[in-house]
Structures are given as C-alpha cells and as structure tokens.
Structure 1
Amino acid sequence: MKPQEYGHLCSVIIILLNTSMMAYLKVKRSALTFGRELGEGGFSTVYQATWKQSLLKRQEVAVKRLHKVNPSEVEIMSKLDHPNIVKLLAVLDESPDYFLIMELCTGGSLRSYLDQRHGNRLPLDQLCHLAKQAALPLKYLREMEILHKDVKSPNYLIAKGKILKLTDFGIAKNLKETMSNATQSASYPWMAPELMKDLKLSPTYDIHSYGVVVWELLTLEVPFQGLEPQVIVMRICGDNERPPIPPDCPRPIADLLRKCWEADWHKRPSIDEVLSVISDRQAVAVAAKTDRQRQILDGSWMLERKICGSAACLLTKPYGIAVNHQGDVCVANWDAAKVQVYSQQGMHKSSIDTKLGLKPGTRSWPREVRISSDGSLCITDYTQFVKVYSPAGWYREKWPAVSPQNKSSADEDTCLVGLTMDAKGQLLVGEIKKRYISKHKGDGSHVASMKIGIEPWSLAVTSEDTIIISDWDMSMHIVDSTGQSAASHTDEFAKYAFQENRS
C-alpha cells in the first residue's frame, strides 16, 4: 500500500470512529446524479446533484467533494442544526472519493450578489437585515462552542426565500482549541491580526471577520482587493490599518466596526452586543439621517475625507483627478510620479508609474488625468507627450500633441499640461510654453490646433462645446467651439481659432 493511500485509509477510519453516532445518512454513489460544478476551493469542489432517496423522492442538493479528508469538518457539521447554516444531509464514502451531501442554496454567494449590484449600494434596511442574518449563525456557533474561522462573504450562501446561510466548515475549530497554535489557512482580507502575528486563534476571532463582512455590505467592495497576502499582513499588523469606513456610514454601525476590528481581541464586542446594534434598525436609521444632515451643514462631506491608505500610498500634491469605468478614483500624485487609484470608499487599490515610456532620467510630474471612451487612462506630465494606459493600468503608448503652428511637440521645449475631453470624445491638450491647444482623436491622431496668447494651465469643455481655459497668471478665459472669445477677465483677449491639420 502506498503511503498516501495508507494515510487516506487512516483518515477514513478516524471519521468512521468519530462519527458513528452522528446525525447524517450514508449513501451510495448510484443514488447521486451529478450536474454542473458550482465552485472550487483549495481543498474541495462543489457540484449540483440530484439525490434519489427512493423511487418517488428526489432532492436537488449540493455535493462537496473533499480533495483532502478533514474529520473535524464532518464531526462539526453533523452537530449543527440552524436555519442560517447550510445543513449536512448525508455522506458518500467510496475510497478514494469522499463527498458531503448538503442542502442546495440556489441564490449563489453573498459576494456574487454584491458584485451583481454594480455599485448600487444596499438600502439601509436591507443592509441591517442581511447583517443580522450573517450574525445569527455566529451566535449559535458560540453557544455550541465552535469557531468557524473562515467567515467571509463568499462563505455565506443565499437560499430560497433570500435566507442567508453560513457554509464551509473545513477549518472550523472547537473553542477549547482556540488559544493553542493554529494552522494559518484562512483568508487574509478577513483574517484577524492575532492569527497573522503568532498563529493563535482567539474566542472573538470570528467577530473581526464578521466586521469585514458588514463592511462589504456597506461598500459592496472586496477588502484589500488585489493586494498580496504579505502586503495585507503589513498593513493590518504593521500599520494597524483596517478597511476604510465610508463617511456616510451610520454612527452605530461605524462604532461597531471599529470595535470588531480591535487589535486586542479582549476589547471586541460579544455576538450578543453585535446583534443588539444590528437589530435596532430604527436607531441606525435615525443616526444615518442625523449624521447626513450634519455632514451637509458643516461641509464635511468631502472627497479628501474618503481618500486614505497606508503611509506608502498617502497623496502628496494631488492634482488632476478622474473616475474610471469601474468607479475608481484616479488621482495624479505629482510628487510621487504616479497616478494613485482608489475605490470610492477611499481604499488604495494600485499605483500607475507615469515614468514609463520616458527616457531614463526624465522627470514625470503627472498633472491631468482623463478617461477615454474605451476606458483607457490618458495623462499629461509636463513632458512633450500624452501617455496612454490600459483600463487595467498597464502602459500602452505615448503620442505627441502636434501643432502645425509650432512644428512638432517632439521639440524638447514642449511642455504639455492641460488635458480635457469634449462631447465627441476628442482630447484637448494644452501646451503652456508655446501657448497652443490641440485636438486629438482617442488614438492620438491630430485633428486641429489653436494658437493662443496665454498659457493653458487647465482646460474644460462645457455641454455647449465652449472651452474654458485657466492660465498661469490665474486668469480664466472662455472661448466658443470656433475659438472666438466668449468671455474673459481681461480686456486684452486674442480671438483664437482652431486650424485643422491638413498635413
């Protein structure tokens, strides 16, 4: 017998010994008709299947095939009976295969449900309802002296009647084991700091993870999305960083999240305290209304209140700003020579290096950011080029703003700064040293140029296609689509006119 086969046999024997009195059936493979795959994890694959219980009785179920047999998962699930926990119905043990037959939740995961809302945030009443459903199984598990250890939105499933059910007990533990060393096999964005620091669990470990789930309900976002595990550990343990709480979050929920995320697990609230806050919807609603009115009155509803991140990602001289097709905020970070990308709730997601595409040693000072119709990111950075990045932030190309009146912007003396977009999706680029504005298509091809007598520091286009120009002398000028003067702060105002590129 091979060593791995012997180990599997021992695991199965342990399961049979430990679960001889457990409340589930043992079925044969012939009783199951497998359907589509529902999902796959590191230790299992889940399928939809039909369970033929008798000649007349069939039931649609979820079947979890274990790649690695875990005796404690079967032992724990066999004890559980709660309306907000996915129920274990039967077990199929035909070596080398081992399957858990569980109730089927047809609504998918909570995470997929939030993703499908496409940024349309949950009404407060629905948020509280889901948060309460997510907390109820944790109260039951506490009474059963069980720690789930992997509480996260993908592990909450939506059953018929929009009932939220907790699943996946593959790494669950008994509370008596929580203060001993534990295997670090949880999900980092939801992981409490004590497990990251010394591989020890605490009795309030699930409370920290639950707080992250409530944050997901508030923001619809994935916590620390796109970051490597080691970066998450550094931010949570080193910088004591947590997911940013939205400024419009009702105060009772915001206070609850801060308590759930306490680094000292002794200071976290009990599950009864959590339910007390979440269940009082009227108090949450009143607080939300009062806070919103106060924010409007005192002017605190500001974007800069929402932009945050670790010390490495703090903004220095944020100049141009734009919102991409995913709703992320892209900010030109002048000092850092980067465009910083943040979620709307202020979570730093990525940095785009604006030095890419330039000659070695050339300094980049990102000034303006615009998003083209295909989602590409266009920036000016005081060089002679407009640089273009893909929607994902990868450097793609650069193109010069050609001006027939001023030869070519490949001239080393060219300095592109202002950047905007008109209703046709054409980019308008301002050159401050040689004082002209040029129009370009999304692919960079030159359309027209306009020689002006001022330095076009910033540009904007109104719905009537009127161009607004602010210059280096802090004056504002307005010209119509033909370049004719519409208004000015000064009496001396040249009549500008676009000249088409006929080359």
Structure 2
Amino acid sequence: MTTIVTYTTWLTTTSLVRVPTCQSTVSIAYKHQQWWLDCYVCRQQQCRSSDSHTAILNHASGLRPHPPANHSIGNSVFRPSRVSHPLNNDALSRALMDPQYPTQPLMDFEEWTLDLGKLNMGMPFAQGAFGKLYKGTYNGEDVAIKLLEKPENDLERAQLMEQQFAQEVMMLATLKHPNIVRFIGACRKPIVWCIVTEYAKGGSVRQFLMRRQNRSVPLKLAVKQALDVQGNGLCSWIRSDNLLIFSDKSIKIADFGVARIEVQTEGMTPETGTYRWMAPEMIQHRPYTQKVDVYSFGIVLWELITGMLPFANMTAVQAAFAVVNKGVRPIVPPDCPPSLGEIMTRCWDANPDARPPFTEIVAMLENAEMEIMSTVRKARFRCCISEPMTTE
C-alpha cells in the first residue's frame, strides 16, 4: 500500500537556530523505516559509539522558565519506596521522586504532566553529558525515562536547556506520527526535568548492529514499502543511535534531545553531535532541502554494511571539517556489492542535486537485493533471508 506523506515548508532562521514555521510531519526517511529492516548487509566489526548527542528543533513554546531557586541535587532525600531498584548515588532519580521538590507546571501542556505516583524508576541504561535514560514503568506500561539535570552554576546553559526541554515536550505532545516515539508525559522540578516515552525493546539500530557482531543482519523484503513519497520534506538528522527498534520491528525516531547544548555554549552550532551523519550544506549553514536526508541515509547504509561508527578515528568536529574541506567520506568495503557501493556514493555526493530521490533509491535497493542473492562471491552479504529478526 502506497504511503503518501504531506510535507510543509520549512525553515526560517533566527540568529541562534533554525526553527520550523509550523507543525510538520516526520522526515521522509523515517517513513522508509522498513528499509532499515529489509536490506541485506553484514556486520564486520563491533564498534562502540561515543557520541550521545542528538538533534532538536528549537521552537517557541508555552513552557516558561522557572525562577532560580536554591536547590541542590546533593541535598535530595532518597525515597526507596518510590524506586523499584536501588540506585547507588543516583541523585537524579532521587531528586525527581523526592516530594520536598514541588512539581512545576507545564503551562500549555499541563495535561501531559506526569503523576509521579504511577512512575516506577528502573535502572539507568544510558548516560549523556546532561542526564540519564532509565527503563521503568508508568501506570504498568514499560517506558523510557529521560532525566535531565539543571546546571547549577551556569545560568545561560540552564536557560537554554530549559528552552530545549520545552521544545521537546511541545514536539512530542503535538507531532502524532507512527514513526515518532509515543509521548507518555513530562515533569519539571527545580533541579531535574523528566520526559517519559514508550520503551523500545530492541534498542537503537546502532545497538542492534553491535549485538550482531560478525553475523549478517537478517532483513527481509519491505523495500517495496519503503516509499513513493514526493514533495518537500522536514529535514532531519538521521543517525543510527537515534532510530529505535520496537517489538513489532517498526523503527521510530527518538530523543529530540538537549545534549547539543554542550557545544553551542562554546560558541559553535548546536548540531555538532550529528556531524558524522550531516550533509556538508547543513554543516556550512547553507540553504538545504530534503536531500540532506538522502546524504544521511547513505551514511547509515554504510553503517549497516560495516557495523562501524562513521569516521570512528575522528571527533565529530574533525569529521565535519574533513567532510566539508577535504571531501572525505567513509571507505566503501572492497567486497561490497557494486550496487550497494553505488547507492552509498550517490547518496553522499557533495552536490545535493546529484543525490538520487528516495523513489530511485528504493529501485536501486531492489536491484541490489537481486545481485546480492545471486552472487556466490558475495556470500557474506547473503543475509539469512529465512532467519527472523528479533528484538531480544
């Protein structure tokens, strides 16, 4: 069944960040979610991603900054009855569940305020520069809980983080789409902010690749479902650790994130964490179209084939410099089927107009599938068609 996505025009520019002029649908690439699960690629090398930065679209919101208060996470009181597993020295979860800190209003999104009596904190499973991710339950449902710590000694950073927290709540509460994680609710306290979404049992695409080790990634036939979409797209920052796999094998974009503030407060642009996947025109803040998604798709395809982090021997900023000034791209494996190599190199062409539209990419992937399955010499790419993908 052909899926058609309607897109809205994007973007105006402020002196600080780009913002959408109106509510938009999710990026074209995420409508092609089945592709991530339906090509045939092989994991060559386990690689741990050191980047925890994620992208966020800044937008004015009804969430208002709260006035400074003399609160300290170190002074919060641990309430073991509210936490399902003891968390040694976990000040963030203690601060969230401690009743001495009042819950602050979400203003325009008050209906999304969490009832902390229904929230059970589990163990943390990921950590970034400004907070942690936990597994837990809310009203009996498995959820992912993101806790963010308000910087106590950096007012500028704290205000920017709160602005982006407000933006993330606004986007999750208003953008209803099958390829965006389902929003459960949020909570503000003086020293910690909380966002709760549905839990992805399969983890991220990058975690999936790491778990596979040297085994092939079993992907099936759904390239035909991948897309028949045309028009202007909401330009996104596609990256393997921001795509989550759910138990029904669907893939959704997650975490509009605030970690990018880490670089922005140093006078650089806020997108630094996504540089490994970002098209040159976005890095340079030149005008861009949905072809930036095509570029990022090519980088993620390379990840699926190699299992490696793009530009793993560079920092994100070094990678950005190399991409823009040196024309550096990931190295296509010598035994990669030519058809897959062509898709990647065309997708990450420096000239956006030379990058193929997604409709053409789908056809190229279908042809690559036939080549992979008919070429004995490329046996390592013949990825166990009958083996079901699991999220265990």
Q: Distance in 2 between matches of 1:30 and 1:199?
A: 48
Gaps in structure 2 of 5+ consecutive residues: 1-62, 69-102, 150-160, 260-267, 380-392
User: Which of 217, 236, 245 pairs up with 1:148?
Assistant: 236
Trace 1:20-39 onto structure 2 (pairs within 5 A).
Answer: 25-39=112-126
Trace 1:115-126 onto structure 2 (pairs within 5 A).
Answer: 115-123=210-218, 125-126=219-220
Q: Distance in 2 between matches of 1:43 and 1:201?
A: 30
SS at match of 2:336: coil
Q: Distance in 1 between matches of 2:327 and 2:105?
A: 42
Task: Measure how far apart 1:164 and its partner are.
Answer: 2.4
Q: Distance in 2 between matches of 1:276 and 1:88?
A: 34
User: Which of 8, 19, 25 pairs up with 2:65?
Assistant: 8
Instruction: Output one character per residue of 1:254-303: Cα deviation in whole Å (capped at 9) or x when no partner.
Output: 2222222121223323344334444x3xx22323356766x99xxxxxxx
The equivalent of 2:189 in structure 1 is 94
Would the aligned equivalents of 1:183 and 1:199 in 2 still touch at CA under 8 Å?
no
User: Which of 209, 225, 229 pairs up with 2:296?
Assistant: 209
Gaps in structure 1 of 5+ consecutive residues: 1-5, 53-57, 173-180, 297-503
Would the aligned equivalents of 2:185 and 2:195 in 1 still touch at CA under 8 Å?
yes
Structure 1 vs Structure 2 CA RMSD: 3.8
Would the aligned equivalents of 1:37 and 1:45 in 2 still touch at CA under 8 Å?
yes
User: Which of 280, 287, 292 pairs up with 2:371?
Assistant: 287
SS at match of 1:186: helix
Task: Measure how far apart 1:78 and its partner are.
Answer: 2.2
Which TM-score applies when normalising by structure 2? Answer: 0.56
Q: What is the one-letter code of the residue matched to 2:193?
A: Y
Between the two proteins, the alignment pairs up a number of residues equal to 262
Alignment pair present for 1:270 and 2:365: no
Trace 1:163-312 onto structure 2 (pairs within 5 A).
Answer: 163-170=250-257, 183-198=270-285, 202-278=289-365, 280=366, 283-288=367-372
The equivalent of 1:366 in structure 2 is none
SS at match of 1:73: helix
Would the aligned equivalents of 1:31 and 1:51 in 2 still touch at CA under 8 Å?
yes
Q: Distance in 1 between matches of 2:135 and 2:112?
A: 18
Q: Distance in 1 between matches of 2:306 and 2:342?
A: 16
CA pair 13-30 structure 1, distance change in 2 beyond 3 A: closer
Which TM-score applies when normalising by structure 1? Answer: 0.45
Q: 211-220 or 245-254: which moved more?
A: 245-254
Would the aligned equivalents of 1:121 and 1:220 in 2 still touch at CA under 8 Å?
no
Q: Distance in 1 between matches of 2:105 and 2:338?
A: 49
Would the aligned equivalents of 2:105 and 2:188 in 1 still touch at CA under 8 Å?
no
Q: Distance in 1 between matches of 2:332 and 2:376?
A: 15
The equivalent of 1:76 in structure 2 is 171
Task: Measure how far apart 1:169 and its partner are.
Answer: 1.7
Structure with the greater alpha carbon radius of gyration = 1
Q: Distance in 1 between matches of 2:254 and 2:190?
A: 24
Would the aligned equivalents of 1:108 and 1:157 in 2 still touch at CA under 8 Å?
yes
Would the aligned equivalents of 1:262 and 1:268 in 2 still touch at CA under 8 Å?
yes
Q: Which has the higher helix share?
A: 2
SS at match of 1:154: helix
The equivalent of 2:141 in structure 1 is 59
CA pair 163-234 structure 1, distance change in 2 beyond 3 A: same
Q: What is the one-letter code of the residue matched to 1:122?
A: V
The equivalent of 2:18 in structure 1 is none
SS at match of 2:202: coil
Instruction: Output one character per residue of 1:207-239: Cα deviation in whole Å (capped at 9) or x when no partner.
Output: 222211111111111111131334323431222
Q: Which has the higher strand share?
A: 1
Whose RCO is larger (CA < 8 A, sep 6+)? 2
CA pair 268-28 structure 1, distance change in 2 beyond 3 A: same
CA pair 33-195 structure 1, distance change in 2 beyond 3 A: same
Would the aligned equivalents of 1:153 and 1:213 in 2 still touch at CA under 8 Å?
yes
